[in-house]
């Protein structure tokens, strides 16, 4: 069955809301950097941290600092 335009828009809105809810704030990400480094995070949370660090200059700096300690 082919979905109508209205249904497709709604599905897109739901996917966007779910992705936004799964994004980490810098504060949350920084708290998780040590457990991330030590391999203590569940895979889904580790991916969130990794994605955030790749996109956030400030958290990248924190990650690099943590790596050097």
- Give residue-wise pLDDT tens across range 4-57: 556 556 555 555 544 555 689 999 999 999 999 999 999 999 999 999 999 999
Asked if 63 and 57 count as a contact pair (C-beta separation under 8 A), the reply is no
- Check: CB of residue 24 under 8 Å from CB of residue 18: no
Does the pTM surpass 0.75? The reply is no
Give pLDDT, residue 1: 46
Non-local (6+) Cβ contacts of 5 within 8 A are: none
Cα–Cα distances (Å) from 42 to 5, 36, 48, in that order, read 37, 9, 10
pLDDT of residue 57: 95
């Amino acid at each position: 069955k082919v979905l109508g335009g209205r249904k497709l828009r709604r599905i897109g809105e739901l996917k966007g809301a779910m992705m936004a809810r799964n994004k980490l704030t810098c504060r949350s990400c920084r708290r998780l950097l040590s457990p991330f480094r030590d391999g203590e995070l569940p895979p889904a949370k580790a991916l969130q941290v990794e994605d955030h660090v790749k996109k956030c200059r400030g958290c990248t700096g924190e990650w690099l600092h943590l790596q050097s300690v």
